[in-house]
């Protein structure tokens, strides 16, 4: 009972599931590593208190849509993952702590031909002036000389809330019925440009992620930044 209460009160700290991690490594991270493309990972976070915090959670889904649109307009973009997340401060060990606020955020793992020339953070802040943009640090910091481990670590952090009960309750997103039975809510999304070098393999990758337990949407954008087609899984 105690574990269940903690899960509901706070979102997870880490991505759970060995099968999900293996699928992400094999079908997203490894192809990017092989292509030598540039990976950028970050969060857009809304820090507030009281009623303003509740308002931030009420609006994080619509704010996420605005941020996603900004990222799709970045030159040299190949693809990116986005996911609504909950961010909170870890307690100090051995001390009594007041209730920790959980701030809404949108996490990104983005792949580019090369590092964007324009400041992506500044462009995001123009549409979300009350937010902050902060780099996601790899959960594999101890092994950052291994670029595969580092990129996997940041992707795992970005997707830690893909099926979080906490985020589901806070955002009130609709559940999606899966073909194989069961349901999930539409939190994790994979966006790709129509001209992306990964475009042919992404539908298979999404199927493999779905089989591993990660419910994710794939959206493909033409150069005009308008959706070419949407595959909902």
Judging by beta carbons within 10 Å of its beta carbon (0-12, 13-18, 19+), is residue 93 exposed, middle or buried? Answer: exposed
pLDDT of residue 162: 94
C-alpha 215/C-alpha 174 separation (Å) is 13
Q: Is the pTM of this model over 0.85?
A: yes
The first and second tokens of residue 78, run together, are 């190949």
| pLDDT band at residue 100 under the 50/70/90 scheme | confident
Q: Beta strands 188-193 and 77-87: pairing type? A: antiparallel
pLDDT tens per residue across span 141-160? 445 456 778 889 999 999 99
Backbone angles phi, psi at 110, to 5 degrees: -120, 140
Higher pLDDT residue, 111 or 149?
A: 111
Residue (of 26, 68, 25) closest to 44 by Cα position: 68
Residue (of 195, 233, 201) closest to 72 by Cα position: 195
pLDDT of residue 146: 65
pLDDT tens per residue across span 188-203? 999 999 999 999 999 9
pLDDT of residue 98: 65
DSSP letters for 112-169:
ESS--SS-HHHHHHHH-TT-EEEEPPPTTGGGTTSHHHHHHHHHHHHTTTTT-HHHHH
Report the run of H or E that residue 170 belongs to, with start and end.
helix 165-171
Find the angle CA(15)-CA(168)-CA(28) to the nearest 5 degrees.
Answer: 35
- CA dihedral sign, ordered 67, 113, 204, 212: negative
pLDDT tens per residue across span 201-224? 999 999 999 999 999 999 998 866
CA 88 to chain centre: 16
């Amino acid at each position: 009972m105690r574990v269940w209460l903690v899960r509901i009160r706070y979102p997870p700290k880490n991505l759970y599931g060995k099968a999900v991690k293996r699928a992400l490594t094999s079908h997203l991270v490894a192809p990017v590593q092989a292509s030598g493309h540039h990976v950028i990972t970050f969060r857009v976070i809304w820090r507030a208190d009281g009623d303003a915090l509740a308002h931030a959670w009420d609006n994080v889904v619509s704010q996420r849509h605005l941020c996603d649109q900004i990222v799709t307009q970045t030159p040299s973009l190949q693809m990116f993952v986005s996911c609504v997340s909950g961010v909170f401060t870890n307690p100090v060990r051995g001390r009594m702590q007041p209730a920790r606020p959980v701030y809404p955020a949108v996490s990104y793992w983005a792949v580019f031909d090369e590092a964007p020339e324009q400041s992506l953070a500044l462009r995001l802040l123009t549409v979300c002036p009350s937010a902050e943009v902060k780099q996601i640090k790899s959960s594999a910091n101890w092994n950052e000389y291994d670029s595969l481990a580092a990129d996997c670590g940041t992707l795992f952090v970005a997707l830690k809330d893909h099926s979080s009960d906490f985020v589901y309750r806070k955002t009130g997103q609709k559940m999606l019925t899966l073909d194989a039975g069961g349901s999930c809510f539409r939190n994790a999304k994979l966006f790709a440009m129509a001209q992306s070098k990964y475009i042919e393999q992404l539908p298979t990758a999404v199927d493999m992620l779905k089989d591993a337990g990660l419910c994710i949407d794939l959206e493909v954008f033409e150069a005009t930044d308008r959706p070419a087609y949407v595959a909902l899984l």
